[in-house]
Amino acid sequence: MLHLAESQPRTDTETVLSVENLKAYYQMNYFGVSREVRAVDDVTLAIRRNEIYGIAGESSSGKSTLIKTIAGAIQPPLRVVSGSVTFNFAGKPLDVYGAPEAMKDARWRHLSYIMQGSMNVLNPVRRVKHAFHDFAFAHMGLANTAFWGRVREHLKRLGLDPRVLDSYPHQLSGGMRQRLTIALATVCEPEFIIADEPTTALDVLVQQDVLALIKDVQQRMGSSIIFVTHDMTVHAAIADRIGIVYAGRLVEEGPTEDVFAKPQHPYTVHLISSLPRLGDVTRRKALPGKPPNLSDPPAACRFHPRCPLAVDRCRTENPPLVPRASGRVACWRAGEAEVS
């Protein structure tokens, strides 16, 4: 019944997740006033096996909506308007919005989720072991003793004393709780993990520890991870490839090193320029303006009101996401901006 990730042939070029022309809008219609927030607009991306894919973008750029849509964890008023999300679990394609039953079975077994603010994902009034039982037991198909053996072994590998199973969440430190939620998300050895800002609430030391842990677990299991955070330094530390999201659209994508060394999109250039560098004491420039209102986004290229390089074409024609250098970029003037 149980197919472990280790027993499968692993080819790093195999696509695990493909998202095609995905559009997900918040559609609200209250008291005769309808509003549509285009939080995910025409996103196409593919994630390979054994890869950590970072998604970066500022607050309210639609990062969280994008991964919620990918995970199939959406509720009205958020709706998928068009496009598809297809996983490839154990060699079988799985359409997230086409096969809800199969998707339900795949949850946690093949696809798990490390949540934003994951310090609070454990129920404060129940012992930790109940969380493991509730989330993982049904998906693993093991007998009771075998299951708890696996859980204990897994905790030990993640540097946790199996005795934590008998504690309540408030009895554990923040770092332990974070490890525990990672343990919870990885105990079934899923092929795909979605991590939504898992390190945002932690101080840098614990953050480093947690990142190392995630990377370690990922490499051992050969799973793929979507890692979402607004913190570019975290991306630099962990991601293999990065996708930059601006106002609900993917504007640039490429291998981490290339994105940091030679960013193509003016927005990415600004992101990279804003990072502090050792020895450099000049003041960092903030990008003027603010993220656009997604219920009424700017026409054509959504970045043009804030873009120093904007030309007339940017105001009339939306740039497609086209292959360029080692990645893809959506800009009419790609590669022209310089990192300061």
Partner 1 sequence: MFKILRDLLRYNTEFLIGFVLTGAIFLFAAAHFFAPYPDNAIYMLPPDMPPSAEYWLGTTSRGQDVLWQMSAAIWNTMTFGLTVTVISRFLALAMGMTSGYLGGRTDQALMTINDTLIALPNIPILLLVYFVMRDQMSWPILALTAALLGWNYDARLIRSVALSLRTREFTRHAVFAGMSVPQILIRQHLPYVMPVIFFTAMNNLIWAIGLEVTLSVLGFSDINRPTVGGMIYWANQHQAIIAGIWWWIAFPIIAIVLLFLGLFLLAISVNEYIDPRSRLSRMGG
CA 29 to CA 86: how far, in whole Å?
Answer: 30
Measured in degrees and rounded to the nearest 5, phi and psi for residue 94 equal -135, 115
Using CB under 8 A as the binding rule, the residues of this chain from 88 to 107 that contact partner 1 are: 104-105, 107
- Residue 71 or residue 234: which is nearer to partner 1 going by CB? 71
- CA within 13 Å, CB half, 249: 23
User: What's the first-to-final CA gap in the chain, in angstroms?
Assistant: 55
AA letter at 258: D
Looking up tokens 């940017």 gives 314
Quick one: which of 25, 113, 192, 303 contacts partner 1 (CB under 8 A)?
113
- Residue 23 or residue 107: which is nearer to partner 1 going by CB? 107
The nearest distance, CB 114 to partner 1, in angstroms, is 10
Residue 129, interface with partner 1 (CB under 8 A)? no
- Residue 172 or residue 272: which is nearer to partner 1 going by CB? 172
3-state secondary structure of 111: strand
Residue 133 belongs to what H/E stretch?
none
Size of the site for partner 1 (CB under 8 A): 26
CA 186 to CA 15: how far, in whole Å?
Answer: 20
Helices marked H in 143-231 — which ranges?
Answer: 144-157, 174-186, 204-221
Contact string (CB under 8 A) for partner 1, positions 208-237, x = contact: ------------------------------
Quick one: which of 125, 143, 278, 286 contacts partner 1 (CB under 8 A)?
125
Residue 176, interface with partner 1 (CB under 8 A)? no
Residue 73, interface with partner 1 (CB under 8 A)? yes
Residue 303, interface with partner 1 (CB under 8 A)? no
Residue 138, interface with partner 1 (CB under 8 A)? yes
Quick one: which of 123, 233, 293, 295 contacts partner 1 (CB under 8 A)?
123
- Show the tokens assigned to 222: 């050969």
Residue 71, interface with partner 1 (CB under 8 A)? yes
What does the chain come to in residues? 340
Residue 85, interface with partner 1 (CB under 8 A)? no
Residue 268, interface with partner 1 (CB under 8 A)? no
The nearest distance, CB 104 to partner 1, in angstroms, is 5
Contacts of residue 19, defined as CB under 8 A and 6 or more positions apart, other chains included, come to 43, 44, 45, 46, 70, 83, 84, 85, 86
Strands of the sheet with 92-95, listed across from one edge: 33-48, 15-30, 78-89, 92-95
Query: Which region, judged by CB under 8 A, interacts with partner 1, from 77-85, 124-132, 159-167, 299-307?
Result: 124-132
- Residue 139 or residue 241: which is nearer to partner 1 going by CB? 139
| Residue among 122, 135, 207 at smallest CA distance from 164 | 122
Residue 134, interface with partner 1 (CB under 8 A)? yes
| Residue among 2, 56, 25, 38 at smallest CA distance from 250 | 56
Query: Which region, judged by CB under 8 A, interacts with partner 1, from 8-16, 121-129, 210-218, 247-255?
Result: 121-129
Q: Is 18 exposed, middle or buried (0-12, 13-18, 19+ CB in 10 A)?
A: middle
Residue 10, interface with partner 1 (CB under 8 A)? no
Measured in degrees and rounded to the nearest 5, phi and psi for residue 194 equal -105, 120
Quick one: which of 21, 29, 120, 316 contacts partner 1 (CB under 8 A)?
120
- Residue 116 or residue 207: which is nearer to partner 1 going by CB? 116
CA 268 to CA 256: how far, in whole Å?
Answer: 12
Give the residues lining the site for partner 1 (CB under 8 A): 71, 73, 104-105, 107-108, 112-113, 115-118, 120-126, 130-131, 134-136, 138-139
